[in-house]
Amino acid sequence: MSEVNIENSWKNILNHEFGKPYFGNLIEFVKSEYAMQTVYPKGAEIFAAFDACKFDDVKVVLLGQDPYHGAGQAHGLSFSVQSGVKLPPSLQNIYKEIQSDLGIVPPADGNLLRWAKQGVLLLNATLTVRASTPGSHQGMGWETFTDAVIQALSDRKENLVFLLWGAYAQKKGASIDKSKHLVLESAHPSPFSVHRGFFGNKHFSKTNEFLTSKGLKPIDW
């Protein structure tokens, strides 16, 4: 499908998905939504997570659910917001855990592109959302596509770290080959569940310990 403007290494891996009927239906749905509704992120940023982190460069996969549905927030990377935007509660809690775990004082900036450039794939299960309507693009085909992304990573690579926060992410990552990859699971960092095991999970130090043990450069969180 020529209209899928995605980074070339991913295009090679996912090309078979683009020709499937579900993906054609998904593209038509997304185009109609952008034409008639306010949808986030901007069209050019739908595949930003892939553009920022080539397939060969992926070391860590951080799985989110939906893009942020407020104006000016989403820009195609899970949990990340555009520079200058107030930090959402989940990202505030992620930063708190990084500080507790690693002693790093996080920046005020919520743009996580700096992580993506180091090999962190910031992948949402659903890549678009209607403004002010969380979950509005669920069940339209994005989940099938991102399942294929996760499967390709699990099958074709070794020594990845998958960060699965919350029941949704854990269910979506159930097929990951744990004999080849490190899968770290905990509660979600949202205010509703953060005290049920996200705080204190030490996922950031555990990720870096694993990467270092495999001879890979740790992430500068």
Reply yes or no on whether 155 is catalytic.
no
Is the Cβ–Cβ distance between 79 and 90 less than 8 Å?
yes
Torsion sign, CA atoms 15, 143, 182, 164: positive
Which residue in 51, 56, 57, 66 is the catalytic one? 66
CA angle 187–189–195, rounded 5-degree value = 65
Residues involved in catalysis: 66
